[in-house]
Structure 1
Amino acid sequence: MTIVIFVIVLWYGGLFFQSFFLHRYAAHQVFTMSKTMERITFVLTWIFQGSSYLSAYGYGIMHRLHHAFTDTENDPHSPSYDDNLFAMMWKTKTIYQDINTQRIAVDQRFTKNVPQWKSFDAFASSRFSRILWISFYIIFFVFFATAWWQWLLLPVTFLMAPIHGVIINWFGHVYGYVNFKMKNTSKNLFRFDFLMMGEGYHNNHHKHASRANFGVKWYEIDITYLIIRILDALKVIQLKPIKK
């Protein structure tokens, strides 16, 4: 049971910081925070994403490219232009690394105000950091695994962020329902997104990219947005006014 709880904590912890920090803050800037809070969130993202840590800079720019070129050949990840989800994720990884290492030129409109902490990212994205987290996960399983099937969850801890990415960027463009007819294949995965904390309302998000709340219908409860509202009420962050 300890292993299952551990994986659930990593799943939702990593997912929250990917949605809250990398997606809604770095890419779309639907709220603001102080520089100190930003640095704290960088560290918390590293702690919960662990071996699959994603840089806010690389993620933020790549996601902006996804919105600008959705389902075209310039989209960093589109089922319409990749043969399978593994090919799509390999392409995504390559583009993400090219952005982070500045091997490709990116238009200034995609880089504007994207948070970057170069020295921390260099450490958190390093092979040393990733091996350190993988070693920790293995040791944790050695001490707490009580059944053979629990070891099947170990690879999930290594690849948590890419798994989250596959669910949205592949399945969120293949399966589900739509609230808005658009010139792309984005879909909402669940009526109530218990699995992806609101990220599964992908069609809604493509229609209203600048909204903090990804839910539209009454039953589309965006868990990440509820947490954002609490943090805003506590003055930890500041939600931007809704554009009409």
Structure 2
Amino acid sequence: MSNIDVDDQHDDIVYPSALPFALIHLGCAAAFWSGITSQAIVIGIAIYWLRMFAIGAGYHRYFSHRSYSTSRLFQFILAALAQSSAQKSVLWWAAKHRHHHLHSDTHRDVHSPRHKGFAYSHVGWIFARKHDATDLVKVADLASFPELRWLHKFEVLPAVALAACCFLVAGWSGLVVGFLWSTVLLYHATFCINSLAHVHGRKRYVTGDDSRNNWLLALVTMGEGWHNNHHAYQSSVRQGFRWWEIDMTFYILKALSYLGIVWDLKAPPEQVRRNEHRLGARAINRAAEQLAKHFNPERIALAITSAMHASELSSLRGALNEAKCHIGDALTAVHLNRMPTRNELLGQAQAMFTRTRSLDEIVDRAYHLLLESVGSHLTASLQLRS
């Protein structure tokens, strides 16, 4: 059995790495014993927002996307603060997120609700054995810093240090209410970007995936909820593209830029903000695949063969055999009553996607993919009949 087969076979098993995560959740109930003090609540609120900023500004916008520049010292501070959220190391986080953008909502995405379900995309994927390793090739730019490799090696140290500080300042209530409660809230607010922001919300841009803008998530994550905006232009330091899209992480980074702590803040081009840009090849291909699949090529092929006489089937078989690798081109020369027209694909595309200048390119690509897929099904069906 291959290594891939082994991974797939055991992918649904919860490994011991899930135990600390479960214990942190269970530990929140210790508040019945420790009590809930006002000091602990203040600490919890403060470190929730501080660490949420570090996750959004650090893990995401800086380490994953390099949307601005900063000093080596502030880079380390951001990484240490983000790791105090107990969401694994900066190298692991950035590598997984870069992989996500390369394969967003495809079968290769590590946390797509479309393919693995909501619960798996929200939290389950973290504990799958095949996702435990860090692909250092994807973060070679970050791995070149020894201090970041040190943080990667001792990934729980910042979280343990923060927990100890909470205990020293406010006792057991500080540890339970201040640290554990805020950590659990951080977990699920962050994880909702992977799960909920690919299920609920509005799509302003065609991105070839299921990313959505969700104003409520944007509020609790300091701007990360403007997820469709982010997928439309990933290197932008600002994710709330419109003036009314509150993005606290960007506002803080803008203020820090005035102090010289960060600089070279990247902004989306005006064409992108106005949704007047042409899409890249990857987004066009993914959107086209979604459109083509909507028409169910297998069912179309079955309807075509069922409606044909023996002589027509023989002619079709001959045309497809001659076409070999150009099945789609062969079908364009054959009149097939049950084959959707390009105008039908265009109408469906207008219903499925938001406004984009690349709609015709998506439809043309989808029509080609549909012809190829229908042709493949027809070839297989006709071979069985011969």
Band of TM-score, shorter chain:
0.7 to 0.9
**1:156 is aligned to 2:193:** no
Tell me what 1:97 maps to.
132
TM-score (norm 2): 0.52
The 1:85–1:136 alpha-carbon spacing in structure 2 relative to 1, beyond 3 Å, is: farther
1:207 Cα deviation from its structure 2 partner: 0.7
TM-score (norm 1): 0.79
1:113 Cα deviation from its structure 2 partner: 1.9
- Larger Rg: 1 or 2? 2
**1:3 is aligned to 2:37:** no
In 1: Cα distance, 2:254 partner to 2:162 partner:
31
In 2: Cα distance, 1:64 partner to 1:192 partner:
21
**1:177 is aligned to 2:208:** no
**1:83 is aligned to 2:114:** no
Which of 29, 43, 56 is the aligned partner of 1:19?
A: 56
Deviations 1:158-194 (A, max 9, x none): 4354323321111111111221233211111117932
**1:36 is aligned to 2:73:** yes
Report the structure, 1 or 2, having the larger helix content: 2
1:217 Cα deviation from its structure 2 partner: 2.2
Structure with bigger RCO (C-alpha 8 Å, 6+ apart): 1
Determine if contact 2:217/2:224 at 8 Å carries over to the other structure.
no
1:10 Cα deviation from its structure 2 partner: 2.2
In 2: Cα distance, 1:136 partner to 1:186 partner:
37
Equivalenced residues, count:
228
Cα root mean square deviation, aligned: 3.0
Deviations 1:185-210 (A, max 9, x none): 11111179321110010111111111
**1:120 is aligned to 2:151:** yes
Counterpart residue type for residue 213 of structure 1: R
In 2: Cα distance, 1:218 partner to 1:208 partner:
17
Aligned-pair identity (%)? 21
In 2: Cα distance, 1:142 partner to 1:54 partner:
26
In 2: Cα distance, 1:33 partner to 1:121 partner:
20
The 1:228–1:93 alpha-carbon spacing in structure 2 relative to 1, beyond 3 Å, is: farther
In 2: Cα distance, 1:37 partner to 1:153 partner:
25
Determine if contact 1:59/1:96 at 8 Å carries over to the other structure.
no
| Alignment gaps of 5+ in structure 1 | 146-150
Counterpart residue type for residue 114 of structure 2: S
| Alignment gaps of 5+ in structure 2 | 1-37, 270-386
Tell me what 1:148 maps to.
none
The 1:66–1:53 alpha-carbon spacing in structure 2 relative to 1, beyond 3 Å, is: closer
**1:64 is aligned to 2:89:** no
In 1: Cα distance, 2:171 partner to 2:195 partner:
33
The 1:10–1:175 alpha-carbon spacing in structure 2 relative to 1, beyond 3 Å, is: same
Deviations 1:146-165 (A, max 9, x none): xxxxx788753343543233
